[in-house]
Structure 1
Amino acid sequence: MLRPNFPLQANHVELYRTHLTYGKISTLPISRKERITRMYAIQITLLVLICATSLLSLVYSIRSRRSQDQVKRGLFAARTNICMGFMLIFIAIIQMTMFPTTGTLRIVFGAILLAIGVFNLVAGLRNHSYFTRLQH
């Protein structure tokens, strides 16, 4: 392992914060504590988004199954697909970025989830636009 020729400070990492001052860009190092705080905030945000989209997916799925009107049933099914797509995308983001060990299996699993999520999102948007045109 190569070691730098200069002493490393304990509170700095490789990441840098970019500032724009008087038209000039300067970089300041981000402290380890600030980096951990940001990562924690991102994790909490993604967790809340996953919970919200899974709850909305469940609600729209139930409404889709209970609806008697075929157009409303299609709209609710499309919204279910949209919510499931976002949920899978958020899970893929967590899988690929938030864990310290980035093994090949984790990246492949995240890429598969991302592909399925994008497919669900696109199919849901397409179906939603189709059923919205039928409704009006």
Structure 2
Amino acid sequence: QIVSRGQVRPDAAAWNTLINAATQAGDATRAEHWLATMLESGVAPNVRSHNTVLYAHAQAGNTEMAERGLQRMLADGIEPNTVSFTFLFHACTKAGDGDRAEMWFDHMRAAGMQANVVNFGALLNVFAKSRDFKRAEKWFARMH
């Protein structure tokens, strides 16, 4: 109520805490709502704001919404980082979509990002969960 009366202007950290609360509650729709409200209030989201929403969609296994989140991030002029892509891989794991995970891994590399052990682990997990051991072995070999 104090915020709505204009007595306090929340900064990005405050908005991120609110977005994170919705994410921790498993409510991706609410996390999206708070990200949009943050923008409407004139506070610029940062990579953490967007990554938190990506994580919410990843937890739900909603690859389409996670992808839209990444595209919105780019539209807002915010460069995704390796964490952003790790969350996309988690969404692909929940959805059992190895092809999509590979596509995003290739996109990440094409954007000039160096994959780290967490990225590779998340990608391997996509194939482990779907029992596609040949592809898991292929990607494991690419780690070295």
Range into which the TM-score falls when normalised by the shorter chain: under 0.3
1 or 2 for the larger relative contact order (CA 8 Å, sep ≥6)? 1
TM-score, length-scaled by structure 2: 0.22
TM-score, length-scaled by structure 1: 0.23
